[in-house]
Amino acid sequence: MPELPEVEVSRMGITPHILQQTVTKVNIHNPNMRWPVPDDVYKIVNLAVLAVKRRAKYLLLECELGSIILHLGMSGNLRVVEQNEPLKKHDHIEFIFANGKALRLNDPRRFGCCLWQAPGECHSLLSKLGPEPLTDEFTAKRVYEQSRNKKVPIKQFIMDNAVVVGVGNIYANESLFKAGIHPKREAGKVALARYQQLIPIIKDTLAAAITQGGTTLKDFAQSDGKPGYFAQQLLVYGRKGEACMVCKKTLTEIRLGQRSTVYCSQCQR
């Protein structure tokens, strides 16, 4: 599933091609996404895209009458192509622009979405989200206070979108390893000092992934729309059974919340 850095890089990639461009047509080739695509999305026709924003893993194409909300689901990607380029299999939705470009949402599993948000409203999918991880609102003090009396494992706690958005499985694994925190430790038993160490690590890990992903932007319009999990050396994620890069002990994999969790039993307490 695309994580926050991948979605942010997608936002950065499509923005130069569609910002301030007028939508001339919307083609819904398959309306049966995670939720049915509403007819409201046609309201963007003949309007310019005034901003391309991201909230958690949702992308918002803002126009005068409201916003298109896009989510890539588990397998989706966005491509900017010439409008006369043949459709690919699973190209379900496309926005045609006056500059001759088309923005296409390709989603083999159809777990993504294309929805509408009216001006001044906050869609129910966005209304209960926590702070963005790279903002000043995401602080150790805030997370520490939220964690009191919580028995849920710390890994699941920091992946809770009500606590902070966008800390997906890969980056939760990596951040907890760097902070030396065992992923199964109860969130309520993690001291303030350890949160003061963890939160900057989460911010740095996500920011580094976004920066590394930005190197793919030159050819975004010609790419397959899949920036991928960037050319970074992952310390624990996907390395079950390999040696810890710090202490050389064999890394352990368990399941937490049905997600793969890899950690070092010596480095993480």
Annotated binding site for DNA: 90, 109, 150
Separation between Cα atoms, residue 208 and residue 9, nearest integer Å: 12
**Which residues does the annotation place in the binding site?**
90, 109, 150
Strand 58-63, strand 51-55: pairing: antiparallel
Question: Which ranges of 169-258 would DSSP assign to H, the alpha helix?
Answer: 169-179, 192-213
Question: Which ranges of 24-107 would DSSP assign to H, the alpha helix?
Answer: none
3-state secondary structure of 69: strand
Active site residues: 2-3, 57, 259
Strand 91-97, strand 101-106: pairing: antiparallel
Strand 77-82, strand 101-106: pairing: antiparallel
Separation between Cα atoms, residue 192 and residue 167, nearest integer Å: 19
Residues with Cβ within 8 Å of residue 246, at least 6 apart in sequence: 264, 267
